[in-house]
């Protein structure tokens, strides 16, 4: 639902400012990740969630997400 405050439009990213997204979601994400092990690799970070592992890789000037079962 477009509320004009958080979600501005239905384009990619919904017009949500990064700062607002982090302010809203980061505390919950950090709480969920507390006590979990993260598997660090060079230029990447992985987070297990359920039966999947989400790996964020720093590739050049962008980030890539890899999801493994």
3-state secondary structure labels for all residues of 29-42: HHHHHCCCCCEEEC
The whole domain housing 1 covers 1-35
Which two structure tokens, joined as six digits, stand for 49?
């969630």
Do residues 46 and 22 both lie within one domain? no
Total domain count for the chain? 2
Average pLDDT of adjacent 10-residue blocks, the chain of 69 residues: 76 82 85 74 83 90 91
pLDDT of 41: 58
pLDDT of 44: 87
For the residues of 13-26, what is the DSSP string, one character each?
A: TTT--HHHHHHHHH
Do residues 44 and 69 both lie within one domain? yes
Do residues 4 and 21 both lie within one domain? yes
pLDDT of 38: 65
Do residues 21 and 40 both lie within one domain? no
Do residues 42 and 24 both lie within one domain? no
CB distance 52 to 68 below 8 Å: yes
Of 35, 33, 31, 63, which Cα lies nearest the Cα of 49?
A: 33
**How many other CB atoms are there within 10 angstroms of residue 54's CB atom?**
13
pLDDT of 43: 85
């Amino acid at each position: 639902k477009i509320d004009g405050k958080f979600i501005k439009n239905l384009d990619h990213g919904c017009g949500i400012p990064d700062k607002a997204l982090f302010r809203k979601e980061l505390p919950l994400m950090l709480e969920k990740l507390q006590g979990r092990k993260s598997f660090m690799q060079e230029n990447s970070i992985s987070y297990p969630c359920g039966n999947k592992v989400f790996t964020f890789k720093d590739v050049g000037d962008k980030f890539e997400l890899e999801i493994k079962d």
